[in-house]
Amino acid sequence: MILQALWRVKMGSSILSVLVISCFLANPILTINMMSNELKKNSLGLIQSVIMGVAGSAPSYSISATMATLIAAVGVLAPASLFYCGLIMVGIVMAYRQLNGHNANAGASYAWVSEIFGMRLGFFAGWALMVASSLFMVSATVPAASATFLLFAPQWVDSQTAVTLCALAWLTLVTVVVVVGVGLTARIQMIMTICELAVLTIISVLILFHYGPAHQHLISWQHFSLKAFTAESFASGAVIALFFFWGWDVTLNLNEETESAKQSPGLGAVGAVLVIIAAFTGFAAVVLLALSDEQITQAGTNVIFVVADKILPAPWNYLGVLALMLSTIGTVETSILQFTRTMFSQSRDGLLHPRWAKIHPIWNTPYSATLLIFLFGSFFLIASLASKDISEVMSKSINVIGVQAAYYYGLAGFACAWHFRHKAMRSVVNFLLIFLWPLASSLVLWWAAALTISGFDAITMAIAIGSMSLGCWPLWRHARLLRKQPLD
């Protein structure tokens, strides 16, 4: 919905507001008391890291929001696109794991790229994540609100005002939970994610038994061959599929709050990505088995509910809606966590104002940064009342966020390959896991992003590049202060 507001009558005022906030982020003070700005340590364990990584990718939300777009782009090659994107993600996960073992920092890609390639590239790696999280904030809360009304008050589901107010309520509740502490967030996430995966598994098994022989689309092993793709279809599918996977790296943003900070977050990310590769690839096949092209198009962002309705009688078909609601709330939480921990790390290093690194004296969370993203989300939710076409918003936001994720994931992969190039030569396993795979994954991501950007219309291009360009202001201000020159 944020993009819809920008594209329509709110475009000028929204960009101006983002620019004002960007200026507000700039740091007039270069020193900060490190001892009073520590996150709460040992709040998470390995299992919680896996759960948070799965919740970050939000299986049900990603499937509902993106599956129709992916199938429209690549057809029966959708499962293969998700599988190959998953393999690319494994290379990036290996890079994140290695870099985290070297330096467990809540800024994750920002901190690692800054150390290896310099502060400017590192800053924009973090900025890309924060921009993507901000763009995502509104488009995630609206589906949660819609799902809430589908479950409890169907008569309000078509009222944009009611949905927006409900989305605000969800955003407020999630913000409070995140401020109270990552431990509470993780416990809630564990319950929601287990329920969500259980619902997806039940629906998938029932569809396979019922529609296996009477499929709507025939899927064969030939569809998993790289020869089945053209360069354009592979790139398009990869960027869209990247939106599915985006978010697993929240486990690395929580490394300073995790037991065995240099080991558990990396292992948790590996486990999370393996789970979501299976979930996404499998459910893509299930959707193609159960639904025709026309049904998929009509389902739009309600694919899971439409599939569940095929196999489960009322009211059990609403399990699909419940899975979507749980998943959406979960990914809002993890997006807030990624935004705030990245901002916390940048502020702690002096790139942004120290206010964003302030830690709550009781809950040990960066409450100021959390309040900021809450204000972002609230502002754009209200602005979104001027919008009407959700499907267009979802399609364009998927591509914009996918390109921005490809950028900072790719930087981390390049940083790993370069920094550990000598260590990689010590064994074949090292060469594969910490050099070749991360490097190849980064190259593919950047190639796919470049092809996708070349197909953007003018407005989408302006939002994708313009939102990144806003980061030049705090970076420039920081450089001026370092040189101790008076501001104009």
Is the CB of residue 470 less than 8 Å from the CB of residue 19?
yes
Q: What region does 108 belong to: left with phi over 0, alpha with psi -120 to 50, or beta?
A: left
CB 145 within 8 A of CB 164: yes
Query: Tell me, what's the pLDDT at 391?
Result: 53
By C-alpha distance, which of 422, 406, 415 is closest to 438?
415
Which of 17-26, 118-127, 225-234, 479-488 ranks highest by mean pLDDT?
Answer: 118-127
Mean pLDDT of 376-405: 72
Query: What integer pLDDT is reported at residue 82 of this predicted model?
Result: 94
* pLDDT at 11 (0 to 100): 34
**Token pair for 376:** 């972002």
In this prediction, residues 335-347 reach a mean pLDDT of 92
Structure tokens at 20: 């004002």
Q: 3-state DSSP call for residue 274?
A: helix
Compute the average pLDDT of residues 452-462: 82
Per-residue pLDDT averaged across 433-458, rounded? 90
**Does residue 214 register a pLDDT over 70?**
no
Instruction: Give me 34's structure tokens.
Output: 């490190």
User: For 2-482, CATH number?
Assistant: 1.20.1740.10
Query: Residues 418-443: what's their mean pLDDT?
Result: 96
* pLDDT, tens only, 179-192: 887 777 778 888 88
With beta carbons less than 8 A apart as the criterion, state whether 89 and 57 touch: no
In the prediction, which pLDDT does 460 show?
A: 81
- What does the pLDDT read at residue 387? 61
More confident residue, 185 or 71: 71
Position with higher pLDDT, 145 vs 482: 145
What pLDDT is stored for residue 434 in this prediction?
95
pLDDT at 396: 65
Q: How far is CA 362 from CA 23, 35, 181, in A?
A: 30, 15, 9
425: pLDDT strictly greater than 90:
yes
Query: Using CA of residue 372, residue 374, residue 379, residue 380, what is the dihedral sign?
Result: positive
Instruction: Give strand pairing partners of 352.
Output: 26
Q: Which two tokens stand for residue 297?
A: 């198009």
pTM of the model: 0.85
pLDDT beyond 70 at 352:
yes
Q: How high is the pLDDT of residue 19?
A: 34
Q: CA dihedral in degrees (166, 306, 392, 336; nearest 10)?
A: 50
Residue 294, Cα to own-chain centre: how many angstroms? 28
What band does 389 get if pLDDT is binned at 50, 70 and 90?
Answer: low
Separation between Cα atoms, residue 125 and residue 107, nearest integer Å: 10
- Tokens 């996960």 belong to which residue? 93
Q: 390 pLDDT band (50/70/90 cuts)? A: low
Average pLDDT, the chain: 83
% of the chain residues with pLDDT over 70: 87
Residues 169-179 have pLDDT tens digits of 999 988 988 88
Would you state the pLDDT for residue 452?
Answer: 81
pLDDT above 90 covers what percent of the chain? 37
Choice among 9-18, 23-32, 60-69 with the minimum mean pLDDT: 9-18
Q: Which two tokens stand for residue 403?
A: 């390109």
Both structure tokens of 478: 């920081």
Q: What is the pLDDT of residue 482?
A: 63
The full set of domain ranges for the chain reads: 2-482
Q: How confident is residue 22, by pLDDT bands cut at 50, 70 and 90?
A: very low
Q: Which two tokens stand for residue 434?
A: 């910490």
- The pLDDT confidence band at residue 32, using thresholds 50, 70 and 90, is very low
What pLDDT is stored for residue 179 in this prediction?
86
The residue written with tokens 């074949």 in the block is: 428
| 356 secondary structure, DSSP code | G
Q: Cα–Cα distance between 23 and 18 in angstroms, integer?
A: 9
Residue 27 has pLDDT above 80, yes or no: no
Instruction: Read off the pLDDT of residues 235-280 as tens digits, 9 standing for 90 and up.
Output: 888 888 888 899 999 999 999 999 999 999 999 999 999 999 999 9
pLDDT bucket at 198, cuts 50 / 70 / 90: very high
